[in-house]
Amino acid sequence: MKSNLMNNYRMGGYLLIALGLINLRYQSGQNSVLQHSLTIIVPGVLVLASTWVPVAAKKLESKAIQWLSLVIGGLLIAYAVIN
């Protein structure tokens, strides 16, 4: 179960990084595109990195953190789509 949960976090991190990079590429003519893209990319990198740090990975197993990350991840995905 633990490895499946970490895989879900990793896929979520990869998703945010990909959406941020896509946003950076396709919004390249807009003002503040780097700031908007980094708002999506940085949390993805942090989530992805935290899955390989044992202390952080243990914290990610908490139900409260799972729900919080789901809500924040959903909001970041919505931000990436409507931005």
Task: Give residue-wise pLDDT tens across range 4-32.
Answer: 889 999 999 999 999 999 998 888 777 88
* Cα three-residue angle 66-73-77, rounded to 5 degrees: 160
| Six-digit token string for 59 | 């914290």
| Six-digit token string for 50 | 């935290």
pLDDT at 60: 93
pTM of the model as a whole = 0.90
Burial 29-51 (b: 16+ CB within 10 A, else e): eeeebeebbebbbebbeebbebb
| Six-digit token string for 46 | 């942090």
**Amino acid (one-letter) located at 49:** A
Give the pLDDT band (50/70/90) at residue 69.
Answer: very high
Q: Is the pLDDT reported for residue 59 higher than 70?
A: yes
Report, as an integer, the average pLDDT of 39-66.
Answer: 95
